A = this chain, B = another copy of it.
Amino acid sequence: MLNERKLKILEAIVKDYIETAEPIGSRTIEKKYNLGISSATIRNEMSDLEEMGYIIQPHTSSGRVPSDKGYRLYVDNLMNYRELTLDEATFLKNIIANNINHMEYLMKETAKAISLLTNYTTIVSEPTVNKTKISHVQLMPMDEKSIALALITDSKAIKNHVVLVDFELSDAELNNLTQILNSWLRGRAIDEVDVDNVKMSGDSNISKVFYKVLDAIKNIILQEKNVNIYTSGVNNMLDFPEFSDIEKVKSLFKTFEERDVLITLLGESSADDIQIVIGAENSIEQMKDLSIIKANYQFKGRDLGAIGIVGPKRMDYFQVSSILNGIVKNINDILRNAGNDDG
């Protein structure tokens, strides 16, 4: 295992590289970090560290750069979380307080806030309804050809849809139908709803609408099985020297547009605490040069979605994981309070 001195040197290399993005040599370490040993000694230790796979020499006669393994050691053994600063904490509390009524906004705004605080890219997957229960369904008059449908879940999501019809229904008829639907749907888990096996007898116009509404609900459910996903601060990537090449930018930005990739990226594990995935540790080819720091959030024990912060491998793991830690606590608190009635 690594001795104290090697650890110190590795830590210096990682921190310096995170800060400067330049390969770092023995003489620089000697001057910048007072380790009390000469550059020649540092050179010997670095040679060992390279052999052990913790650092890499981009080319002969250049300084060293941390390898994935080096970052891993740093993250696991040399780093801890800090508390949020007062500024960060109030900033985030405000965001959350201002968007507490609207889940979708909350996630979008949180992503924005994280990007702003960290200068990295944030990916958020939205609370999906398919793991939740239907708490209410409502039909509403729109115009003589269309009926609006709202579906509310116990995770406080509201989904709308428009149902086209050939004839107009009165408010009373709509209310009536709304009651029928609710008596049947309320409290059901959304992915257990089997709209194909419902039958309705009686007035033909109303039952026509009834089936159309069931179809619409089916659509909402299908649609929602595809997770919603947002990114924020993608442009922040342009500020890193890692992406001074336009071709790299192009391929990275294309990747950020691929839902599937993002979903995989966020979904790969679902541990309870904050996960740090470094470089090639993730399975996505196009992301081999990036790291991601992520966390899941839960509602009533169900995983609802995740927040991930993406940056170059030399991203500021310390700052980002600290901030994410603070945020996840806050959000989970909110979700817990929102649902402290039953369950």
Residue ranges of A at the interface with B (Cβ–Cβ < 8 Å): 101-102, 135-136, 138, 140-146, 148, 150, 152, 154, 156, 158, 160-164, 175, 235, 238-239, 243-246, 249-250, 253-254, 257, 338-339, 341
* Alpha-carbon distance between A136 and B238 when the two chains are bound, in angstroms: 46
Contact, CB under 8 Å: A148 / B143: no
Contact, CB under 8 Å: A143 / B250: no
Contact, CB under 8 Å: B148 / A136: yes
Chain B positions within 8 Å of A138 at CB level: 138, 140, 150
CB<8 Å pairs between A and B, sample of 26: A101-B146, A101-B161, A101-B163, A102-B160, A102-B162, A136-B141, A136-B148, A138-B138, A138-B140, A138-B150, A141-B152, A143-B154, A143-B339, A143-B341, A148-B150, A150-B150, A150-B158, A158-B160, A160-B160, A235-B257, A238-B249, A238-B253, A239-B250, A245-B246, A246-B246, A246-B249
* Alpha-carbon distance between A243 and B247 when the two chains are bound, in angstroms: 11
Q: Which residue of B lies closest to A175 (CB)?
A: B175
Contact, CB under 8 Å: A140 / B144: no
* Alpha-carbon distance between A102 and B76 when the two chains are bound, in angstroms: 48
Q: How far is the CB of A126 from chain B (nearest CB, A)?
A: 15
Q: How far is the CB of A229 from chain B (nearest CB, A)?
A: 15
Q: Which of A101, A156, A161, A257 has the most CB of B within 10 A?
A: A101
* Alpha-carbon distance between A135 and B140 when the two chains are bound, in angstroms: 10
Chain B positions within 8 Å of A162 at CB level: 101-102, 156, 158
Select which of B102, B238, B253 is within 8 A of A235 by beta carbon. B253
Contact, CB under 8 Å: B142 / A148: no
Chain B positions within 8 Å of A239 at CB level: 250
Chain B positions within 8 Å of A238 at CB level: 246, 249-250, 253
* Alpha-carbon distance between A277 and B48 when the two chains are bound, in angstroms: 63
Contact, CB under 8 Å: B152 / A140: yes
* Alpha-carbon distance between A161 and B246 when the two chains are bound, in angstroms: 42
* Alpha-carbon distance between A257 and B236 when the two chains are bound, in angstroms: 12
* Contact A142 B135, CB 8 Å, known A160-B158, A250-B235: yes
Extra pairs beyond A102-B160, A148-B158 (6, CB < 8 Å): A101-B162, A102-B161, A140-B152, A148-B150, A150-B150, A150-B160
Contact, CB under 8 Å: A156 / B142: yes
Q: Which residue of B lies closest to A104 (CB)?
A: B160
Chain B positions within 8 Å of A175 at CB level: 175
Per CB-CB distance, the 10 closest pairs between chain A and chain B, nearest first, are: A101-B162, A158-B160, A238-B250, A235-B253, A138-B140, A150-B150, A136-B140, A136-B141, A148-B152, A244-B246
* Alpha-carbon distance between A66 and B245 when the two chains are bound, in angstroms: 29
Chain B positions within 8 Å of A338 at CB level: 143, 145
